Each structure stands twice: as structure tokens, then as C-alpha cells.
Amino acid sequence: MTEKFFITTAIDYINAKPHIGHAYEKVAADVLARFYSAKYGRDRVRFLTGTDEHGSKIEKAAAASGVALKEFTDQTAAQFSFAWDQLNIQPDRLIRTTDADHIKTVEDLLIKIKDNGYVYEGEYSGLYCVSCETFYPEKDLIDGLCPIHKTKPELVTEKNWFLKVSEFTGKIKESIEKDELKIWPVERKNEILSLLEQGFNDIAISRPNVKWGIPLPWDKEQTVYVWVDALINYVTGAKDENGKDWWPANCHIIGKDISKFHCIIWPAILLAAGLPLPKEVVVHGYLTVGGEKMSKSIGNVIDPNDWVAKYGADAVRYLLLREVAFGDDGDVSEEKLKTRYEGELANGLGNLVSRVTTLAEKYLGGKYESQKNIFYCDFSKEKKEIEAEIANFRFHTALSKIWEQVIIANKIVDEKKLWDLAKSDLAEFSDVSHHLIARIYFVAEQLEPFLPESSLKILDHLKKYPIIKAEPLFPRILNS
């Protein structure tokens, strides 16, 4: 048994509202947190997410909205918190980089790095993408444009304070090669090793012309570079309200566009501060819509709140982790959500629970010889297989294996003609019903990390005695 499991996500930049891509990562982290809570106990799991609220991009967004900076950050951070509540995502902390304890952590950690001799002052000239808040080498541009935002970077020359990343690249490379710092999936690991092989320059940890940020402790004319500020949130959030320090993280979940920051720069910051490296960085792909990456300019950004309002949180969670293999890019749409909702959820799981409980109430009065018969079947082999898929971030495969049990149960109902069997052979009907109830119970237990509301409804219903007809789990969607 592990002593603890500390899981984090990237913190979201609040220059715009949350979209379904943000939700994808947070749902996956919530599934892992629930899974390990069931396995080890809730007090051994910590789940951290939050919002990234400093930098020039936030300044510009606030100015464009005509709202004061602090008010703007409060309003937009609340939108992320609301979206995660709607999706039943339950972190232990929603950290904000404007939180007082985070500002103190950043100051203390950077002073420690400077005292350790890993910071120096210098001048830097480079191509800077304002949208990414990132400097890009010319070789990383695509047709002279930022690879993420397709905009032309600005040539910026300025005096900064630098971190000696180059001092640590050998140690970082060795840690990755030995899987002391695991990177999943393997293609992302190979990409990072290739970057390290090419050589990795020292990075600026401060900016002179960005006012909305944390002042550098020893040079108040500069603010901490927003990416450095953001990464340190993991150390801030590792300390819980009881003073327990959960660092190092067992698992950072991030998108592939920020893998360089988490697999090279972040380890360098930690090593410079004398802190241990995280255990693993899990890198997911992009969600696309109609084959295109979500973009406000294209107009294909999906607000998760819209889908939750129409289909419910569990259906959205199900689509996100069933539709796309977690490490790959994949396309989502409302049409796909509707198909999954009506097929696997309503007609598959929902119909199964409804049919079996209806017949049990009608022909057995919901009564069984013993409630322990609900647990009659042995699903230990299937449980082990499903748990292995979740632990290895193959969420879509885990759900597929769970749904194999739903399909088997529905097939038993149809092949045994359960409604006729109840009239012709009540004893066999009772035995088959016991088996089906046990299988449904098993399905509900395995679904708890993925579909917490629906699984709880099923489990609560089956624990009642006598069993009565269940209300529809996934009602028909009106105007769909």
C-alpha cells in the first residue's frame, strides 16, 4: 500500500472562460483521485488544480473587459471553479497564483535557488509569443509563426535574471532514462530526451516590463516570469490545511504543448532548490472539434457547462474518457455525446437497471433469500483488469471493459427472456435475477470514479430491501 498519492493538473490561464479541453484534463485527474481514494483511503489522496492569474496576457484581457485586475481575476477564476463543480470534479484545493501563501512560496523558493548559486543576471533577445507567454527558438516556429497560436512572435530584448538550467540537464536526462522521473506515454518521453540531447539553454525567471506578477524578491523592478510562478504552485499546493507536505507529486497530468516546461524546466527549478523530482508526468493529447483545435477565432470552443446542462455531468465525463485514448489527440462533438448518451448510457446501462429492478419488484416483490446474494458472483478477475487499465491511464479501455459487463447482462436478459421466465419458472428467474443484480452491482462499483452520480444511485438502490423499480438513470433528452 502506498503512503500517499498526490495528483495535480496544469493550472488554467484565466484570460478566457473554461472550455471542454480544460475539462478533459480535470475529469481524468478526478477519476484517478477517486480511484486511488477507493483503493487506499481518501485521507491518503490529494488532488490539486487551480488557476494561473499573473502575466501580461491577463493584464490585457482585464483592460479589454474594462474591469479592474483583481476583480477580473476573481470573476474569471470563479468561472473555472463553477465549471468543475458542475462536472462533479472534487479537488482538495483550487489554488490561485494570487493566493498569499503561493506568493510567499514563490519568493522563498527563488531566494533559496539564488542562495544556492543557480541564478545570474543577463540580457536576452528572443522571439516572444504574447499568447503563450513564451520565448521560442526560430527552429521551433512554423513558417515563422508560433506553433500553438499561429501568430508572429515579437522580437524582444531585455535584461532578466536567469536560472542555470544547463547545470541540471544531465541529471534530468538520467532521471528520465531510468524512469525515476517517468514520462507517459513513451513518445513524449522520447521527445523530451531528444530536446535534452540537443542541449537546453538557461531560462529567464523574471520579466522587467510586466507589472501584474510577483515582484522578484531581490529586484523589485522585475516580476517573476509567469511560467516559473505557475509551476511553483505544485509546491505551494502540496501543503495541506493540517501542515502536511505531500511533495513530491506522484502524478502531474498535463497537455502535450506544455511538456517541455514540466519535464525540463520544472525539474531544473526543483533540483536548484534541493527538492525531489515528481514521480511521473502524464501527457495527454489535444481535443479537437471537427478536426480543428479549439479556437475563439474559429468559433468552435465548447463550453462544458452547456453540455452538462443538457446531458448531465456523468454523460460528459463518460464521453471525454470513452471517446479518446488519453495520450492521443481525438475529436469530440455534441453529436458524439448524444450517440453515447442514447446508446451506451440510456439504452445500455440505464435500460438494464430499469428492466432488472422492474422485474424483481413485480415477480419477487424485490425480496431475496439474503441480501448477501447481491454479492454472489466473483468478478475479481475482471476487477483486476479494469484497475490495471485505470492505473495505466487507459481510461477508454477501462470503460470498454466495464461495458462488456453491461452487454453481457443485457444479453442474459434477452436470451433468458426474463419477462417470460418469471411466469414459467420462478425459481430459475430468481437465480438469474440474483446473478444480474450482482453483475449490475459490480458495474456500478467500477463506474464510481467515472460516473459518480449514476453509480451512487445504482448502489444506493440495490442496497435497499426490498428492491423496487429504479427511476431512469439517463432520461430522454428533450429537443435533441
| DSSP per-residue letters across 211-224 | -SSPEETTEEEEEE
| Cα distance between residue 252 and residue 314, in whole Å | 24
Q: Say which of 159, 256, 293, 338 is annotated catalytic.
A: 293
- For 261, the grid coordinates are 516546461
Cell of 98: 494570487
**Residue of 19, 114, 252, 396 with catalytic role:** 19
- The catalytic residue among 132, 173, 396, 461 is 132
Known catalytic residue: 296?
yes
d(CA 417, CA 112): 72
Active site residue: 39, 112, 149, 239, which one? Answer: 149
Q: Distance between CA atoms of 112 and 115, rounded to whole angstroms?
A: 5
Active site (annotated) includes residue 159? no
Count of positions (residues) in the chain: 480
Report how far residue 65's alpha carbon sits from residue 461's, in angstroms, rounded to the nearest whole number. 49
Cell of 125: 533577445
- Does 251 qualify as catalytic in the annotation? no
- Among the options 211, 296, 367, 464, which is catalytic? 296
> Residue 108 and residue 393: Cα distance in Å, rounded?
35
User: What does the block give as the cell for 255?
Assistant: 497537455
284 catalytic residue (yes or no): no
Task: Give the number of other CB atoms < 10 A from CB of residue 221.
Answer: 10
Tell me, yes or no, if 293 is annotated catalytic. yes
The Cα 200–Cα 354 span in angstroms is 59
Mapped to the 3 state alphabet, what secondary structure does 384-430 carry?
HHHHHHHHCCCHHHHHHHHHHHHHHHHHHHHHCCHHHHHHHCHHHHH
Rounded Cα gap, residues 353 and 347, in angstroms: 10
Residue among 26, 102, 114, 129 flagged as catalytic: 129
Q: For the purposes of burial, counting CB atoms within 10 Å of the CB of 303, is it exposed (0-12), middle (13-18) or buried (19 or more)?
A: middle
**464 included as an active-site residue:** no
Annotated active-site residue in 22, 189, 401, 416: 22
- DSSP 8-state class, residue 185: S
Q: Give the whole-angstrom CA distance, residue 318 versus residue 350.
A: 14
What residues act catalytically? 19, 22, 129, 132, 146, 149, 293, 296
